[in-house]
Homo-oligomer: A and B are copies of this chain.
């Protein structure tokens, strides 16, 4: 077992691409992923799982079909399973998100922003 802490800001220095999640930890069958995001993501949902967003640095908005929630550093939000959402950040925002291993970032929506789901740093 590793005896090293996982320093999130240090991990963020290891990549620069937007909407390209990196796994930093696993708890049982759940993964903790970091992403740098900017501009609009794809409308999508996750049929079988809730998804947690946690903002580490910056601010973002999660749009829903009937509203939105604004998040800034130190704030989190749980998107319930099956709820369509579209993450958005005007300026670059650093987030951690949590979901079961194997979940695809765009759900069933697909498209060019679909990322590999299991890239570790």
Q: In angstroms, how far is the closest chain B Cβ from the Cβ of A47? A: 13
Say yes or no: A69 contacts B9, CB within 8 Å.
no
Copies in the complex: 2
Given A32-B52, A80-B1, A74:B7 Cβ within 8 A = yes
Interface size class of A (residues with CB under 8 A): 35 or more
Given A49-B28, A98-B27, A7:B83 Cβ within 8 A = no
Query: How far apart are the CA atoms of A75 and B4 in the complex, in Å?
Result: 10
**11 pairs, CB–CB < 8 Å, chain A vs chain B:** A1-B80, A1-B83, A3-B67, A5-B72, A24-B76, A25-B76, A27-B49, A27-B50, A27-B98, A28-B49, A28-B50
